[in-house]
A and B are shown apart, each in its own frame.
Chain A
Amino acid sequence: MYRIEAHGIPYKRLNEMLREAADRGEKEIELVGVNGQRYLGSGIRSRVKITIHGVPGNDLGSFLDGPEITVYADGQDAIGNTMNEGKIVVHGSAGDVIGYGMRGGKIHIRGHVGYRVGIHMKEYRRQVPVVIAGGTAGDFFGEYMAGGVAILLGLDCGPGERLTGDYLGTGMHGGVIYLRGEVDPSYLGQEVAVFDLEPQDEEALDKYLQEYCQDFALDYENVRRARFIKLVPVSSRPYGRLYAY
C-alpha cells in the first residue's frame, strides 16, 4: 500500500502524484487528509485500488477508466462524471449530479444523495453503468436517463422522510430505475411509469444488491426482501413530437 499525505496539496499536484504512483505500478494507493481536491482518479487506466480518507472534491473519478475508488467520508458533487469503467464506493453521503453522463462502471453510495443523480446515464450493449444509493435522493433522480441502472434503497429512512424528490425520471428515455419502496405518483416525470418487477429484474437486483451489501457489510436478506418497484420510460422518443406540431 502506497500512502500519500494529501492535506493542503492543490488538486493538480495531488492528481499528478496519484498518476505517477499508478504509472509505476502501485496496486493500492491510500490518500489521507484529503479535503476538497477535485478530479481524483481521473486519467488513470489501470485497475489500481485507491482509498480516500477525508472528503474528496467535486468530480471524483470523472472520466474514470478502470480504478476502484473507496471513500471513507462523504463525497461532494458530480462523482463519476462521464465515467467509463471502474468502481466508486462512498461510505458516507454524496452531493448532486452523481453519475452525470456515466457510460460504464459502478457507483455505490452508502448514504443519501442529492439532486439530479444519474442524469443522462447511457449504455451500449454490455456496457451498462450502475448507480446505487442507500438513502434518499433529491429531485430529478434519473433525469434524462438514456440507459443504465439507478437504484435507490431508502435504508434508515426517518419517519416522514421521502424516498425520492420530485420530477423523478423526467425526460427519461432509456435504462431502468429500481426503488425500494413506493413513490407518490405526482412526483413522477411525464416520461416514466411504474411497473412490477419481471423475473429478469429480480435476477439483476440480486446481483447488484449482493455486491452493494458486501461493500458496506449490510445484511443482504434484509435489504433485498422489501418490495421494489421499477420505473421505465413509456416512450423511447419523448421529444419526437415536441417540435413537430
Chain B
Amino acid sequence: MEKFYIPSGCAISGIISRQGRKMSGEVIVKSIAAMHDRSNGLGGGFAAYGIYPQYADHYAFHVIFDSKQAREETDAFLRENFQVDESQPIPVRHTPAIEDPPLLWRYFLRVDPRVLEVNGQQVDEHDYVVSRVTLINDRIPGAYVASSGKNMGAFKGVGYPEDLGYFYRLEEYEGYLWTAHGRFPTNTPGWWGGAHPFTLLEWSVVHNGEISSYGINKRYLEMFGYRCTLQTDTEVVAYLFDLLERRHHLPVEIACMALSAPFWKDVERMEPAKRELATAVRQVYGSGMLNGPFSLIIGSARRMVGFNDRIKLRPMVCATKDDLVIMASEECAIWEVCTPDKVWAPRAGEPVIAELEAGVVA
C-alpha cells in the first residue's frame, strides 16, 4: 500500500489595495497556491471585492444548486422577493481537477422599497436581504447562497484553491480586495457549501482553525434570527460580524475584542477606562466570544481585518508593499506576489486592520 503523508493545516491569504486599485484574481491565486501543502483538495475559495462595478448598487447573489429543481425553486423565490435585473450562470472553465461541480448561478438583485413596508412598519433593507438569504439556505433543499453583498462575490468549492481559481476564471475579474482559503477539513465534510469563504452581505470570512465555541455561538446567533445551515464552524464568524458591526454598530476594533476577548487576568492589568470597556464587552458578548485555535481574515466593502485567537494557536503573517496590505498563514504567500516593504507577525488577539484610504471610492 502506498503511504500517504499530508502536511496538514488550512491556508488563508488576503490582499487589499488601500487606494482601491484593481488587481486581477491571478494575484490571490498565486498567493494561496504557494501554500498548496496546507490544503488537501477538499475545499478552497475566494472572496472578491469591486468585481461588479456595472452592478454596484445590486445585491450580487452567488448561489450553489445541487439540482435543477433547487435552482427553479430559488429562481421563483428570488423573483417573488426581489427585482431580478440579471440572472446568469457563473462562467466556469471545466477542468478534470474539479469533479462534478454543482450548478453555479449569479443574480443581480434590487429591493423594491414597497416590500420593506410591512403593516405600516419599515423593515431595514439589509435585515430584509439577510432574512431572504437565511430562508433560501434553511428552506430550499439543495440551494446555498455563497455570497449576497454588493459589488463582491464568493467563488468556492471542492478542490485545491488554485484549481478552483482556474475553474472560476478568476483572472478575468478585477478587485481591490481579495481573500482566499485552502481547506483541510478535519471535523466537518468537504462539500461545496461548506467551503470558505463564509459570507453574509458584504462580510466574508476565511479561517484556519476550529471554533470550539460553535455550539454556544450558534445558539446565541439563533436568538437574533440567524440559522447555521452550512455544517461548518466558520459560518458563525460571518454572522457575528454582521450582528456586531452592522446591527450593533460596534467599531471593528471592539467587534474583534468581543470575538477574541482578552483574558480576565489581562483585563485586570488594563488602565481603568480600557478595563471598563473590556469588562463590558466580555459581559455583553460572552456568548459571541470565539474559543479554540484560529486565524481569520474578514473582508468587507472598505476593509480587511486579520486576527488570531488569544494564544496564537494558528499562524498569521502580515506585510505591506506601497498601498498593499497582505495577510497570510505563511510568509511565502506574501513573497510569491511581491517584495514586501515590511513584514511582521501580529500578536495574539490583536487585530490588524487595513482600510481603503479616506476618499477612495470602492
* Chain A residues at the B interface, C-beta cutoff of 8 Å: 11, 35-36, 38, 54-55, 57-58, 74, 76-77, 93, 95-96, 112, 114-115, 138-140, 165-167, 186
Minimum CB–CB distance from A143 to chain B (whole Å) comes to 10
Q: Are B311 and A36 in contact (CB under 8 A)?
A: no
Give Cα A151–Cα B324 distance, bound, in whole angstroms.
Answer: 35
- Contact for A96 among B7, B34, B312, CB less than 8 A: B312
Q: Mark B227-256, 1 if CB is under 8 A from A, else 0.
A: 000000000000000000000000000000
Minimum CB–CB distance from A74 to chain B (whole Å) comes to 6
Minimum CB–CB distance from B145 to chain A (whole Å) comes to 34
Q: Which 5 A-B pairs have the closest CB atoms?
A: A36-B332, A115-B312, A35-B332, A36-B34, A55-B332
Minimum CB–CB distance from B18 to chain A (whole Å) comes to 23
Q: Does B348 contact A (CB under 8 A)?
A: yes
A-B contact pairs, 13 of them (CB 8 A): A11-B37, A35-B335, A36-B333, A55-B335, A57-B330, A58-B7, A77-B330, A93-B343, A95-B345, A96-B312, A115-B312, A140-B311, A165-B347
- Which chain B residues in 2-46 approach chain A with CB under 8 Å? 7, 34-35, 37
Give Cα A88–Cα B343 distance, bound, in whole angstroms.
Answer: 21
Give Cα A165–Cα B345 distance, bound, in whole angstroms.
Answer: 13
Minimum CB–CB distance from B128 to chain A (whole Å) comes to 44
Q: Are A76 and B331 in contact (CB under 8 A)?
A: yes
- Contact for A139 among B311, B315, B330, CB less than 8 A: B311
Q: Are B348 and A186 in contact (CB under 8 A)?
A: no
Q: Are B312 and A74 in contact (CB under 8 A)?
A: no
Q: Are B347 and A74 in contact (CB under 8 A)?
A: no
**B317 / chain A contacts, CB cutoff of 8 Å:** 95
User: What band does the interface of chain B fall in when counting residues whose beta carbon is under 8 Å from A?
Assistant: 20 to 34
Q: Are A77 and B315 in contact (CB under 8 A)?
A: yes
Interface of A is mostly: loop
Q: Are A138 and B312 in contact (CB under 8 A)?
A: yes
Q: Does B269 contact A (CB under 8 A)?
A: yes
* Chain B residues at the A interface, C-beta cutoff of 8 Å: 7, 34-35, 37, 266, 269, 311-312, 315, 317, 330-333, 335-336, 343, 345, 347-348
Minimum CB–CB distance from B144 to chain A (whole Å) comes to 32
Q: Are B37 and A38 in contact (CB under 8 A)?
A: yes
Q: Are B269 and A186 in contact (CB under 8 A)?
A: yes
Q: Are B331 and A95 in contact (CB under 8 A)?
A: yes
Give Cα A167–Cα B348 distance, bound, in whole angstroms.
Answer: 13
Give Cα A35–Cα B331 distance, bound, in whole angstroms.
Answer: 9
When A36-B336, A38-B37 are in contact, do A74 and B331 touch as well, CB less than 8 Å?
A: yes
**B269 / chain A contacts, CB cutoff of 8 Å:** 186
Give Cα A35–Cα B35 distance, bound, in whole angstroms.
Answer: 10
Minimum CB–CB distance from A84 to chain B (whole Å) comes to 20
Give Cα A38–Cα B343 distance, bound, in whole angstroms.
Answer: 20
**A165 / chain B contacts, CB cutoff of 8 Å:** 347
Q: Are A114 and B345 in contact (CB under 8 A)?
A: yes
Give Cα A57–Cα B311 distance, bound, in whole angstroms.
Answer: 22
Minimum CB–CB distance from B337 to chain A (whole Å) comes to 11
Minimum CB–CB distance from B287 to chain A (whole Å) comes to 26
**B336 / chain A contacts, CB cutoff of 8 Å:** 35-36
Q: Nearest residue in A to B347 (C-beta to C-beta)?
A: A138
Q: Are A112 and B345 in contact (CB under 8 A)?
A: yes
- Contact for A38 among B7, B311, B331, CB less than 8 A: B7
Minimum CB–CB distance from A138 to chain B (whole Å) comes to 7
Q: Are A74 and B343 in contact (CB under 8 A)?
A: yes
**B333 / chain A contacts, CB cutoff of 8 Å:** 36
Q: Are B34 and A35 in contact (CB under 8 A)?
A: yes
Q: Nearest residue in B to A36 (C-beta to C-beta)?
A: B332
Q: Nearest residue in B to A56 (C-beta to C-beta)?
A: B332
**B7 / chain A contacts, CB cutoff of 8 Å:** 38, 58
Minimum CB–CB distance from A9 to chain B (whole Å) comes to 12
**A58 / chain B contacts, CB cutoff of 8 Å:** 7, 330
Give Cα A186–Cα B336 distance, bound, in whole angstroms.
Answer: 40
Beyond A11-B37, A36-B335, 17 additional pairs, beta carbon < 8 A = A36-B34, A36-B35, A36-B330, A36-B336, A38-B7, A38-B37, A55-B331, A55-B335, A76-B315, A77-B315, A77-B330, A93-B343, A115-B312, A138-B345, A138-B347, A140-B311, A186-B269
Give Cα A112–Cα B345 distance, bound, in whole angstroms.
Answer: 9
Minimum CB–CB distance from A105 to chain B (whole Å) comes to 22
Give Cα A10–Cα B5 distance, bound, in whole angstroms.
Answer: 15
**A54 / chain B contacts, CB cutoff of 8 Å:** 335
Q: Nearest residue in A to B310 (C-beta to C-beta)?
A: A139
- Contact for A138 among B331, B343, B348, CB less than 8 A: B348
Minimum CB–CB distance from A33 to chain B (whole Å) comes to 10
Give Cα A166–Cα B266 distance, bound, in whole angstroms.
Answer: 10
Q: Nearest residue in B to A39 (C-beta to C-beta)?
A: B7
**B343 / chain A contacts, CB cutoff of 8 Å:** 74, 93
Q: Nearest residue in B to A165 (C-beta to C-beta)?
A: B347
Minimum CB–CB distance from B346 to chain A (whole Å) comes to 10
Give Cα A159–Cα B21 distance, bound, in whole angstroms.
Answer: 34
When A114-B345, A139-B348, A165-B347 are in contact, do A76 and B312 touch as well, CB less than 8 Å?
A: no
Minimum CB–CB distance from B329 to chain A (whole Å) comes to 9
**B266 / chain A contacts, CB cutoff of 8 Å:** 166
**A139 / chain B contacts, CB cutoff of 8 Å:** 311-312, 348
Give Cα A74–Cα B318 distance, bound, in whole angstroms.
Answer: 13
Give Cα A51–Cα B331 distance, bound, in whole angstroms.
Answer: 19
Q: Nearest residue in A to B269 (C-beta to C-beta)?
A: A186
Q: Are A96 and B315 in contact (CB under 8 A)?
A: yes
Minimum CB–CB distance from A203 to chain B (whole Å) comes to 34
Q: Nearest residue in B to A57 (C-beta to C-beta)?
A: B332
Q: Are A76 and B332 in contact (CB under 8 A)?
A: yes
